[in-house]
């Protein structure tokens, strides 16, 4: 199953999103949070993200979803650190919450990495309020 790595500047946000996603996609076991710094402070760390990618990988690839600017930059660096690891990793251009939920459901249904990324990215620009 395609793994997911949740990158947030806040460990609490990443942990909460993992909890929410686990309720909606309970059969997905490869969701790893990479929020905050090792000491618990706010921030992102490429090394922690690369370790999370390794943990999330079961051979079907890993989709990384990140919150803000430096979270994206740290994720890109983490992916570069894994160039020789042979892991298919894609950084999704998607909203963190909605994209994570869509990606997890898609992965849980057996979709390949391209379809999981598409599910996440299809959440961009979706209106939440109909009116």
Q: Which residues are catalytic?
A: 9
Q: How far apart are alpha carbons 17 and 55 in whole angstroms?
A: 17
CA distances from 55 to 26, 80, 85, 118, 130 (A): 18, 16, 12, 22, 39
113 CB-near residues (< 8 Å, 6+ apart): 2, 60, 61, 62, 63, 88, 90
Q: How far apart are alpha carbons 9 and 32 in whole angstroms?
A: 14
Placement of tokens 């990384």 in the chain: 64
């Amino acid at each position: 199953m395609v793994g997911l790595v949740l990158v947030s500047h806040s460990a609490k946000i990443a942990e909460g999103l993992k909890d929410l996603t686990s309720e909606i996609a309970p059969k997905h076991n490869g969701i790893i949070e990479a929020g905050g710094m090792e000491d618990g402070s706010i921030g992102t760390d490429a090394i922690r993200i690369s370790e999370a990618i390794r943990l999330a990988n079961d051979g079907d690839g890993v989709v990384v979803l990140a919150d803000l600017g430096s979270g994206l930059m740290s994720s890109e660096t983490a992916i570069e650190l894994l160039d020789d690891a042979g892991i298919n990793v894609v950084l999704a251009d998607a909203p963190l919450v909605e994209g994570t939920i869509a990606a997890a459901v898609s992965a849980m249904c057996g979709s390949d990495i391209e379809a999981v990324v598409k599910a996440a990215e299809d959440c961009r620009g979706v209106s939440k309020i109909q009116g």
